[in-house]
């Protein structure tokens, strides 16, 4: 009867180790049932699950492997595997898989421990752990002025008995330790997203444009109070929007240029959008703000679609009205559907990013809905949330690594 043996090899990494050891396996007509390799700080760990034909002679094979490992200054150990245990393991490979993504400025042992503990307590088994972020020098990591990025991805197997409780545990851990934790189904759609739609105010840009315009009109405090209440979901968006715009009546159109000139892009916005375009993604702005500013971002960053509200202007003055249909939460969701259909995409292939309550409808129907630096209500309601990193942290959620040359 064929023997099943788990062989693990470790030691200083160098070219040729895997080739040398598998060449011996080939000489004995060994079948490879599973193989995995990792290198951490120039130290190799290679595991190979092998099936040794009876006629090959396991003792001769193990002897040759030991001699070759000694010549390579590597450690090797062998562990027999019961065929029944192997079959049970094979059956488990068909279980549902998920990806846990841990993001932060820095990741410590405490963060890893908390994520691993939550996963275990909810019946999930960790199969793989990978670092997606690049290495950071010690000097850079200790400098308070440097905005470092860290990301570790866990591939886990199993179905949590209470998905809601698992999500709450991750949310609590993220809040406790100032990190972000995303939990996603690992399926074909995660690797085939093709459309990303963004809110504008407090998402792509750091400010709420209507608040900036209100300051220029001398009604800043009044508008800011209404804006905050609307973003918290305490006021109907359409009514609050018209109420705020009415306060801008008489504002000179030249002020729009003044405000546009001082708007700052959110950290990582330019990197994210440029990289998405290089990867062939379609991008869109779906904003409850004003098209004047959204179209400026389109020219600057190259968005494929822009939908926002048009300020009514007569004789160079803002009338306090908007023209056309207001882009509220329901309209954003409708536009997401329409753009996806136009591009021939399923909703599962879309990503939506926003920070306010009026973004929740589109966040809820997108394949990946991300609350970005959002209000508590939105963060708790959205599928995923990013609060610690910039917008380019979204690239980690779709599986890209720094070493891919995508995230800079």
CA distance 392 to 271: 6
Helix/strand/coil for 403: helix
Please give the structure tokens belonging to residue 43. Answer: 């130290």
Helix/strand/coil for 187: coil
The pLDDT confidence band at residue 390, using thresholds 50, 70 and 90, is very high
Beta bridge partners of 101: 153, 182
The pLDDT confidence band at residue 139, using thresholds 50, 70 and 90, is low
* In the predicted structure, residue 247 carries a pLDDT above the cut 80: yes
Percentages (nearest 5) of helix, strand, coil residues in the chain: 45, 25, 30
The phi and psi torsions of 168 (rounded to 5 degrees) equal -65, -35
Over residues 57-107, the pLDDT tens digits come to 788 999 999 999 999 999 999 999 998 888 887 876 666 899 999 999 999
Percent of the chain whose pLDDT exceeds 90: 78
CA distance 265 to 355: 15
For 222-255, letters b (16+ CB in 10 Å) and e give: ebbebbeebbebebebbebbeebbebbeebeeeb
CA distance 66 to 61: 9
The pLDDT confidence band at residue 1, using thresholds 50, 70 and 90, is low
Q: Which of the residues are catalytic?
A: 199, 201
The pLDDT confidence band at residue 407, using thresholds 50, 70 and 90, is low
pLDDT of residue 143: 58
Please give the structure tokens belonging to residue 139. Answer: 């000097």
Over residues 202-211, the pLDDT tens digits come to 999 999 999 9
pLDDT of residue 190: 87
pLDDT of residue 118: 98
pLDDT of residue 55: 80
pLDDT of residue 92: 67
52 close to 2: Cβ distance less than 8 angstroms: yes
Full set of structural domains in the chain with CATH: 3-91 (3.30.70.260), 95-185 (3.30.70.260), 195-207+252-404 (3.40.50.1000)
CA distance 115 to 99: 12
CA distance 295 to 330: 21
For 180-192, letters b (16+ CB in 10 Å) and e give: bbbbbebeebbee
What's the whole-number mean pLDDT along residues 46-67? Answer: 91
CA distance 158 to 93: 9
CA distance 133 to 58: 42
What is the CA 298 to chain-centroid distance, rounded? Answer: 23
CA distance 379 to 259: 29
The pLDDT confidence band at residue 377, using thresholds 50, 70 and 90, is confident
Over residues 283-308, the pLDDT tens digits come to 999 999 999 999 999 999 999 999 99
Q: How far is CA 357 from CA 172, 234, 239, 351, 380, in A?
A: 21, 9, 14, 17, 11
The phi and psi torsions of 390 (rounded to 5 degrees) equal -80, -175
CA distance 152 to 100: 8
> Mean pLDDT for the chain?
92
């Amino acid at each position: 009867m064929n023997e099943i043996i788990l062989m693990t090899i470790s030691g200083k990494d160098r070219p040729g180790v895997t080739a040398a050891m598998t060449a011996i396996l080939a000489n004995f007509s060994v079948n490879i049932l599973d193989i995995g390799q990792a290198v951490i700080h120039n130290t190799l760990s290679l595991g190979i699950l092998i099936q040794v034909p009876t006629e090959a002679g396991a003792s001769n094979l193990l002897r040759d492997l030991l001699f070759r490992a000694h010549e390579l200054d590597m450690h090797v150990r062998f562990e027999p595997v019961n065929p029944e245990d192997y079959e049970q393991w094979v059956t488990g490979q068909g279980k549902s898989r998920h990806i846990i993504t841990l993001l932060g400025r820095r990741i410590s042992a405490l963060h890893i421990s908390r994520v691993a503990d939550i996963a275990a307590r909810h019946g999930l088994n960790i199969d793989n752990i990978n670092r997606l972020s690049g290495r950071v020098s010690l000097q850079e990591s200790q400098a308070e002025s440097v905005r470092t990025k860290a990301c570790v991805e866990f591939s886990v197997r199993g179905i949590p008995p209470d998905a809601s409780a698992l999500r709450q545990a991750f949310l609590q851990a993220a809040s406790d330790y100032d990190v972000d934790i995303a939990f996603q189904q690992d399926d074909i759609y995660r690797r085939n997203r093709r459309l990303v739609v963004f809110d504008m105010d407090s998402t792509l840009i750091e400010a709420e444009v209507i608040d900036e315009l209100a300051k220029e009109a001398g009604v800043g405090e009044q508008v800011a109070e209404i804006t905050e209440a609307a973003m918290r979901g305490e006021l109907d968006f359409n009514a609050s929007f018209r109420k705020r715009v009415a306060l801008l009546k008489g504002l000179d159109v030249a002020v729009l240029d003044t405000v546009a000139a001082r708007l700052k892009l959110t950290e990582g916005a330019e990197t994210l959008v440029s990289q998405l375009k290089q990867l062939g993604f379609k991008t869109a702005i779906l904003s409850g703000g004003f098209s004047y500013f959204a179209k400026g971002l389109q020219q600057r960053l190259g968005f494929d679609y822009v939908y926002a509200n048009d300020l009514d202007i007569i004789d160079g003055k803002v009338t306090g009205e908007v023209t056309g249909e207001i882009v509220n939460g329901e309209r954003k969701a409708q536009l997401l559907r329409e753009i996806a259909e136009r591009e021939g995409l399923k909703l599962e292939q879309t990503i939506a990013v926003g920070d306010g309550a009026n973004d929740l409808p589109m966040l809820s129907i997108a394949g990946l809905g991300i609350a970005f630096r959002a209000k508590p209500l939105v963060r708790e309601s959205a599928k995923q949330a990013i609060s610690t990193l910039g917008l380019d942290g979204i690239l980690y959620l779709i599986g890209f690594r720094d070493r891919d040359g995508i995230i800079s």
